[in-house]
Structure 1
Amino acid sequence: MISKCSKIIGARYYHFNITVGEGEIPSPRDRLGHGTHTSSTAAGIGVPHANYSGLAGGTARGGAPSARIAIYKVCWNEGICTDADILSAFDDAIADGVDIISISIGTQGIIDYFEDSIAIGSFHAMKENILTSSSGGNSGPNSSTIENYAPWLLTVAASAIDRNFVVQTQLGDGQDYQGLAINTHGLNGVMYPLIYGGDAPNVSAGVSPSDSSTCNLGTLDGELVKGKVVLCSEVRSGLGPQLAGAVGAIMQRDGPYGEAYQFTLPVAVLGSNDSAHVLNYVKKSSNPTASISKSRGVSDPKAPYVASFSSRGPNPVTSNILKPDLAAPGVNILAAWTPSSGEDYAIISGTSMACPHASGAAAYVKSFNPTWSPAAIKSALITTAHAMSPTKNVDAEFAYGAGQLNPLAATKPGLVYDVGEKDYIKMLCAEGYNTTNLRAVTGDSNICTSTTNGTMSGLNYPSIALRVKPRKSFSNSFQRTVTNVGKSNSIYKATVSAPASIKISVEPDTLSFEALLEKKSFAVKIEGDAEKAILSASLIWSDGFYNVRSPIVVYTLKK
């Protein structure tokens, strides 16, 4: 067991061309808590009796508790992070000899690899045998919102765990509604006047009823809402009602949701139907009242499923590379928090929380297989992931990639799909990169020539994505090579699962190995008609002990 004093073995901070603002700490120390939370999730030692104000009690432990941590602080002023600082941090981490880089920072919009500091920095890390694990972004559930989609990155989506936090909302007419929220205290059963935010606009500030219904900061009239519970049409931070003097808030959220938001005043987040009932009660009652309880933990039997906020594929730049790669716990995660907040722990959600779960798993896999390349570690994590249900996640693989992270199986995957720097260069050249923008990524003297040009479908990736035209027949082949890391003498047979509208054949469909690290190649041919926007399939290589599963996705172009 690593002692607390030796857990963090390095810490640096960067603020090139950034003015460190009020309240910021010009040091590696964490002010906001995000870095502490993610670091402890990746590699925190076991701490018994951890909880957040009595919620989620138990032993808190990171994914690789025996690992040591080096900290590189690049973000300031509520999330401002410059490319110069990110690249400098990558350079220092590489020079420091880290094994895994965990980066819970996203890009904004669709950025080509040679303009993306995280893609560039992680490519340099890959060249030095360092895997970079990254968050997939919190812009879901819209399609093609995935962030950090470079093929040499491990891109992680956020899935729900089997614990959620509920609160009860009691109305003066006796009706009771269950919602989601993380409240450290409630209203103790006391009934308070209930008002609709749309009936309390801050008229002196020129706020309309439609704006005040959202309860956004500065939209509410403090004289009207003071000492009351406010009904809001949207989920906000809660600062609007709190600063206006409200004692609590009921907030409406449309569509599916699984994460419980954390608030500093009692809040209940209700679905649209329940919120409509509450609004009807407010409008019809002459003296509407409400009370909101403290949160309590409950089991979520539907888990795991991908959170609605988790960004979705397909990959906006390289269409045949499936992103995200896999899903990991990222909803209602209890982990350490910055001491400056007055709390030792916090419960928050995001792909930022999912990423360090995968980073810890990657470190765990590397501890058993120290000579493996970044691609081999990533392949192990992808091909051993638990398959997830497309009925719970309508975006299927574009929500969860290969499925739910399975660290134990990933230490012994049987076969791996390995990729090196030269393979990525061939892919980039095939994508149309010229020597100038290729070198912007690689940072060396590589060039694109007729001998370096590969095919976009030829990258030896452990998953397959094929974009086709709607209502058109198609036929495409993908070449893959696997390396035996299981048993020296083994025979693997291919099993394909696919919908009736597509045919997938594997040639050869049997691979015989006589030694460890022996390589075998095969071709996957996919043909048929695209009857749906997303068609999910899979290829499993099995020797009776190891099951090496690759997701296959056929999807249509937008009209």
Structure 2
Amino acid sequence: MAMTRLLWLLYTSLVLSALSLNCHCSEIKKVHVVYMGERPQEDVSVASMHHAMLKNAMGSASSAKESLIYSYGRSFNGFAAKLTNDEVAKVSEMEGVISVIPNHKLKLHTTRSWDFMGFGTGNDGNLQEGDVIVGVIDTGIWPESDSFSDKDMSPPPAKWKGACQGANFTCNNKIIGARFYNSENYYDNTEFKSPRDSIGHGTHTASTAAGREVPGANYLGLADGIARGGVPNARIAVYKVCWDSGCALADILAAFDDAIADGVDIISVSLGSDWPYDYFEDPIAIGSFHAMKYGILTSNSAGNSGPFAVTVSNFAPWTLTVAASTIDRKFVSQAVLGNGQIFSGLSINNFDLNGTSYPLIWGGDAANYTVGADPESSRYCIPGAMSSDEVQGKIVFCETLWDGSGILLANGVGTVMAYSSITDFAFNYPLPATVISTEDGLKVLDYIRSTDNPIATILVGETPKDVMAPVVVSFSSRGPNPMSPDILKPDVTAPGVDILAAWSPVSPPSVYYADTRSVNYNIISGTSMSCPHASGAAAYVKAAHPDWSPAAIKSALMTTAYVMDSRKQVDLEFAYGSGHINPSAAVNPGLVFDASEADYIDFLCKTGYNTTTLRLVTGDNSTCTNTLLGRGWDLNYPSFSLYVKDGEQIMGVFNRTVTNVGEPNSTYVSSVYIPTTFSVTVEPSVLSFSAVGEKKSFTVKITGPKISQQPIMSGAITWKYGVHVVRTPLVVYNYIPGAPYNLDDGSTYSMINNKKATFRGSSIYHKNGIIGYN
């Protein structure tokens, strides 16, 4: 069956290739987004404007009407339409157009996690959480989940201007708005044409950020406890842009356009691209820029392409970029052999075999020769390669990590997999399973080969304490920033490993896509899980300080973060940014590094954008003057990053301004921790304030010798007054271990000298293979 499917795929690929040779490809219409910046100030119909532009490009009013998919105009200016290559060229030359972007797809990138951060239930219950609205751009939501109950909740705040769309879906006082978007108009037969979530990802992220408190939540008996979000009483607005086929750029921008106008306070986006795009070709960077202008902070995931360097996604400086780290709970399951040997492996295993032992075989001895499989393929237990005659009623040892379906489909009892590349997070499977080390796998194989009747059992999962936590997980994408190397990314890290949260009951509960079981809560990992933790923390700060800007909220989360143990992380700040979020401390940071739209415009000027483009983006008379291309040193950012070209001296001057949000009469004294390789001076080193809201500026000068092939060196500048500790990380680097350069196959890391990056990131998940969603 597997071979037949492979031949069919090969055949269809050849047929499609042949057809493409005979087509007039320039006449094929594909969805593109035309981005035009800020909404026009004058009272004009943007829809009419967009229609006129399409009519000019196509020469027909009816063709223009049929082509138009979205007209963005509630929060910024632009549209999505089906265009040929020739029409793209025409529209690109029209006045007011900043970029024309193909509608590529982006990918989807807690009982214990909040308590682990010292942010348990009952934290400051007087905060006005009910006035805060968290907008979640994701796969939708399952509204009937207990995590979204509106019991004892008042009606939505008066500022709310959103809507509840779609059949078979009802909003309430918790989920106050829901919309869905599908520019490609393609639906799998398992998907809902509504904001209802058929995948589970959006339900999980929404409940992590702002789910109600639910006692007794668990995954089929594992990880039992109280599931809740960071702001249980905040409101949720849902924007469904992701489907089985991915998350389309045009839909993401439409969601941002609506979310901003609807009145959300925080936007949570757990998705991103494998490739770095220019800021105004990236839908999340574009949408979050306009959100920032309206006072809305966007929190987004760093990506799941780690541990490789320069893979961080969502790196615009006006967003909060979140890495993923562990919490103090692991999921393990033991394999017990007939000779008494016990091997502990990572697995979220809810299946209980009651200690019963079953025959144990090696996958290589169970090849399905009928379909052309052999021991070289069956040793990995690939679906279709296994003979049910050999596998039925047995536990199978497999020499790699897979989703368990090969054994399940062959009527096996369970599987022990050997795989050493993943040691810091676990998966759930559709049958009893555990993943042991490759070294232990050799011992299992030796037992099988040296025993006449080998037997084994797999014990139900356990949750021992992880004393090493928090550590940034291996899959979390690393910096440095591929577009602006002098802006440190990621910004912070948050729990993203083995997180339990609400789930869509129609979505598979394990990594096997055809698992027919149903659960209301699931345990998954990814920066998709860490992002809503930061979103919930940001909403918590917003509730305490409704008038704070997005930059001030972001600064509070960064400067109060828990300091990570550098001995556990070779990538240092390129892995965890400022550190691990500490929501309780973030509401009282003492000082904040604030920034406005004008500050970001100045940053964009200095990184190569011209006045014409920026005026379209801002809708005002912004002008780029005295630009120094390639440096972002003066953006008022709560961290310091200095990239030094190979063979040059260490030298950088950073200007910063802090705003007092603590006590009115206060004096902050600076201290510097740095390696001996370079020196740092802070001038002035003491800042005295006499009022809340008062601003003070200081300069940081970094100097040192010439360096070559120097990996990241890191330190920190800390300002202290009373209980306030305002910490900003500082990194200097010019070499990135593990990042190949100057390759000709499209997989190069070429960002570092102010060139656009072109790297290939890899997801840790495969829907029909190893693992689910980013």
Moved over 4 A (4+): 435-440, 445-448, 451-455, 529-532
How far did residue 289 of structure 1 move?
2.0
CA contact (8 A) 2:269 2:301 kept: yes
> 1:464-506: per-residue Cα shift (whole Å, max 9, x none)?
1112245653121111111111111111111111111121111
- The match for 2:400 among 231, 234, 246 is 234
- The match for 1:450 among 618, 625, 635 is 625
Length-normalised TM-score, structure 2: 0.69
Give the AA of the match of 1:545. V
Name the structure 1 match of 2:234: 67
How far did residue 434 of structure 1 move?
3.3
- The match for 1:494 among 670, 674, 681 is 670
- The match for 2:551 among 361, 365, 375 is 375
**CA–CA separation in structure 1 for the residues paired with 2:324 and 2:401:** 20
**CA–CA separation in structure 2 for the residues paired with 1:150 and 1:198:** 49
**CA–CA separation in structure 1 for the residues paired with 2:314 and 2:388:** 43
Name the structure 2 match of 1:273: 439
Q: How many residues align?
A: 557
Give the AA of the match of 2:229. G
Name the structure 2 match of 1:462: 638
Name the structure 1 match of 2:69: none
Name the structure 2 match of 1:171: 337
CA contact (8 A) 1:426 1:453 kept: no
CA contact (8 A) 2:615 2:623 kept: no
Q: Quick one: structure 1 residues 312 and 211, their matched pair in 2 at CA, closer, same or farther if it must change by over 3 Å?
A: farther
Q: Quick one: structure 1 residues 222 and 144, their matched pair in 2 at CA, closer, same or farther if it must change by over 3 Å?
A: farther
- The match for 1:414 among 587, 590, 604 is 590
- Is 1:180–2:346 an aligned residue pair? yes
Q: Quick one: structure 1 residues 451 and 473, their matched pair in 2 at CA, closer, same or farther if it must change by over 3 Å?
A: closer
> 1:400-453: per-residue Cα shift (whole Å, max 9, x none)?
11111100100010011111111111212211123565467x363566532577
The structure carrying a bigger strand percent of its residues is 1
**CA–CA separation in structure 1 for the residues paired with 2:190 and 2:730:** 48
Identity between Structure 1 and Structure 2 (%): 54
**CA–CA separation in structure 2 for the residues paired with 1:93 and 1:208:** 54
Give the AA of the match of 1:524. V
**CA–CA separation in structure 2 for the residues paired with 1:475 and 1:206:** 63
- Is 1:39–2:39 an aligned residue pair? no
Tell me the SS of whatever aligns to 2:352: coil
Which runs of structure 2 are paired with 1:197-208 in the superposition (5 Å)?
A: 197-208=363-374
How far did residue 396 of structure 1 move?
1.1
How far did residue 310 of structure 1 move?
1.1
Name the structure 2 match of 1:193: 359
Name the structure 1 match of 2:453: 287
How far did residue 130 of structure 1 move?
0.2
Give the AA of the match of 2:440. D
Tell me the SS of whatever aligns to 1:339: coil
> 1:208-259: per-residue Cα shift (whole Å, max 9, x none)?
5443333333333333322222222222222222122221111222245221
**CA–CA separation in structure 2 for the residues paired with 1:437 and 1:234:** 51
**CA–CA separation in structure 1 for the residues paired with 2:354 and 2:618:** 61
Tell me the SS of whatever aligns to 1:449: coil
Name the structure 1 match of 2:169: none
How far did residue 375 of structure 1 move?
0.5
Name the structure 2 match of 1:357: 533
**CA–CA separation in structure 2 for the residues paired with 1:125 and 1:296:** 43
Which deviates more from structure 2 when the two are superposed, residues 19-28 or residues 195-204?
A: 195-204
- The match for 2:717 among 539, 543, 550 is 539
Which deviates more from structure 2 when the two are superposed, residues 254-263 or residues 68-77?
A: 254-263
Which runs of structure 2 are paired with 1:22-33 in the superposition (5 Å)?
A: 22-33=189-200
How far did residue 86 of structure 1 move?
0.3
How far did residue 159 of structure 1 move?
1.0
Which runs of structure 2 are paired with 1:142-157 in the superposition (5 Å)?
A: 142-157=308-323
CA contact (8 A) 2:639 2:728 kept: yes
Q: Quick one: structure 1 residues 284 and 436, their matched pair in 2 at CA, closer, same or farther if it must change by over 3 Å?
A: farther
- Is 1:303–2:481 an aligned residue pair? no
Q: Quick one: structure 1 residues 217 and 443, their matched pair in 2 at CA, closer, same or farther if it must change by over 3 Å?
A: farther
- What do you get for the CA RMSD once the two structures are aligned? 2.0
Name the structure 2 match of 1:390: 566
Name the structure 2 match of 1:428: 604
Unaligned runs of 5+ in 2: 1-129, 131-149, 154-171, 508-517, 742-774
Which runs of structure 2 are paired with 1:228-267 in the superposition (5 Å)?
A: 228-255=394-421, 257-267=423-433
**CA–CA separation in structure 1 for the residues paired with 2:321 and 2:221:** 33
**CA–CA separation in structure 2 for the residues paired with 1:212 and 1:154:** 45
CA contact (8 A) 1:434 1:447 kept: no
CA contact (8 A) 2:710 2:735 kept: no
Which deviates more from structure 2 when the two are superposed, residues 468-477 or residues 318-327?
A: 468-477
**CA–CA separation in structure 2 for the residues paired with 1:91 and 1:235:** 41
Give the AA of the match of 2:209. A
How far did residue 56 of structure 1 move?
1.0
Give the AA of the match of 1:69. I
Q: Quick one: structure 1 residues 82 and 439, their matched pair in 2 at CA, closer, same or farther if it must change by over 3 Å?
A: farther
**CA–CA separation in structure 2 for the residues paired with 1:25 and 1:266:** 31
**CA–CA separation in structure 1 for the residues paired with 2:212 and 2:489:** 31
Name the structure 1 match of 2:299: 133
Give the AA of the match of 2:599. D
> 1:340-375: per-residue Cα shift (whole Å, max 9, x none)?
353121111111111111101000001111111100
Which deviates more from structure 2 when the two are superposed, residues 450-459 or residues 350-359?
A: 450-459
Give the AA of the match of 1:378. K
Give the AA of the match of 2:226. T
Which runs of structure 2 are paired with 1:308-319 in the superposition (5 Å)?
A: 308-319=474-485
Which deviates more from structure 2 when the two are superposed, residues 387-396 or residues 370-379?
A: 387-396
Name the structure 2 match of 1:219: 385
Name the structure 2 match of 1:343: 519
Which deviates more from structure 2 when the two are superposed, residues 443-452 or residues 507-516?
A: 443-452
Tell me the SS of whatever aligns to 2:687: strand
Give the AA of the match of 1:450. T
**CA–CA separation in structure 2 for the residues paired with 1:150 and 1:175:** 51
Give the AA of the match of 1:339. P
Q: Quick one: structure 1 residues 98 and 287, their matched pair in 2 at CA, closer, same or farther if it must change by over 3 Å?
A: same
CA contact (8 A) 2:302 2:323 kept: yes
Q: Quick one: structure 1 residues 532 and 285, their matched pair in 2 at CA, closer, same or farther if it must change by over 3 Å?
A: farther
- Is 1:162–2:328 an aligned residue pair? yes
Give the AA of the match of 1:290. A
Give the AA of the match of 1:417. F
Name the structure 2 match of 1:505: 681
CA contact (8 A) 2:663 2:691 kept: yes
**CA–CA separation in structure 2 for the residues paired with 1:145 and 1:317:** 11
Tell me the SS of whatever aligns to 1:422: helix
Which runs of structure 2 are paired with 1:47-126 in the superposition (5 Å)?
A: 47-77=214-244, 80-126=246-292
> 1:497-551: per-residue Cα shift (whole Å, max 9, x none)?
1111121111111111111111111111112245841111001011132100001
Tell me the SS of whatever aligns to 2:506: helix
**CA–CA separation in structure 1 for the residues paired with 2:455 and 2:361:** 8
**CA–CA separation in structure 2 for the residues paired with 1:132 and 1:398:** 20
Which deviates more from structure 2 when the two are superposed, residues 249-258 or residues 368-377?
A: 249-258
CA contact (8 A) 2:471 2:569 kept: yes
Q: Quick one: structure 1 residues 215 and 443, their matched pair in 2 at CA, closer, same or farther if it must change by over 3 Å?
A: farther
Tell me the SS of whatever aligns to 2:331: strand
Give the AA of the match of 1:504. V
